[in-house]
Structure 1
Amino acid sequence: MSVIRFLARPMLASSFVITGLDKLKNADDTARQLSPVLRRASESLPFQTDEKVLARVIGGAQLGAGALLGLGKMSRFAATVLALTSALNTYVEWRSADISTKEGRNARRAQLLKNISLTGGVLLASVDTAGRPSLAWRAEHLAADAKKVTGKQIKRADKAVRKAVDHAVGA
């Protein structure tokens, strides 16, 4: 792992870990703030669940994924989870912000920009392969190599069959 990744991942993850802890500690407030979104989510689930439980799940997901990203374990998966929860938080905070005063509107804009920046950071982390080829690149090159090998083998087999047919017909 490079020094940049070693430093940047925990720095990026720290905000999500603290937010996740806060959501777990204050599940009632989180459920109230996320209520419109959580109500729809709980209605669409095949089993009934409380909005407070979903709020805790979101907080736990942020805490766990933030810890994994900070430690450099399953970083791409953790960053993807954080991108999803960050997008959800951005939407909810934007909707629930107080915009009755100029200070409230400025705070709403600052919070939106911070959340968008964090979402962008974890989106970049979600596609970071740490200098190794991605699975898609590996699969593409494996298929190309297999096609080359197969093409050569087919040409050799074709020559062998033609030679055998020439010998059989000529005999």
Structure 2
Amino acid sequence: MLASIFVFDGIRALARPEERAEAVRPFTDRVTPLLERTDPRLPTDPVTLVRAKAAADVLAGLALATGRFTRLSAAVLAVGLIPHTATDKGDRDHLLRNLGLLGGLLLAAADTEGRPSLRYRTTHAVDRSQRSVRRAVRTAKREARIAATAAATARRLPG
């Protein structure tokens, strides 16, 4: 449900990017020098930028809605919502709606769906392997002591 607004808004922007391009022109005028310094091949015209963001919204929204790459898609949508909120000349209701969406996306981006996070899994895998190594060292030392005792006993036996 959270993704639906991004999918429909993205489809609307893809169908008529010129309407949204005029609204974001002040923002793109400020961002254009940064884009040109970063990489001169990046598009800087507002219509292309609106289309790119709309395509990202549709793809990430569909991924979020279908449960594919949920954390990544929620993060992409959250990052894209920030300039959208900055360029939205709407009233307080639009701002509050966008903040509510941003909060939901941040929760979705942080949610591990009941599975441990990558950091948790990595830390515990390292801990388990360290315990296994310590156990193997203790076993090797014990086996070496037993072998040394057996060898010493064997030397004392006649024959």
Whether the TM-score (by the shorter chain) exceeds 0.5 is yes
Letter in 1 for 2:23: Q
Is 1:86 aligned to 2:81, yes or no? yes
Cα RMSD of the aligned pairs, angstroms, is 2.3
Q: Greater shift after overlay, 35-44 or 118-127?
A: 35-44
1:56 corresponds, among 51, 57, 66, to: 51
Long gaps (5+) in structure 1:
1-10, 98-106
Letter in 2 for 1:124: L
1:157 Cα offset (Å): 3.2
Identity of aligned residues (%): 33
TM-score normalised to structure 2 length? 0.79
Write out per-residue CA displacement over residues 98-149 of structure 1, whole angstroms, 9 at most, x where no aligned residue: xxxxxxxxx5211111000001101111122222222222111111111111
Residues 135/12 of structure 1: CA separation in 2 closer, same or farther (3 Å cut)? same
Counterpart residue number, 1:75: 70
Letter in 2 for 1:34: V
Long gaps (5+) in structure 2:
none
2:117 corresponds, among 119, 129, 134, to: 134
Q: Which has the larger radius of gyration?
A: 2
Is 1:153 aligned to 2:143, yes or no? no
1:22 corresponds, among 12, 24, 29, to: 12
TM-score normalised to structure 1 length? 0.74
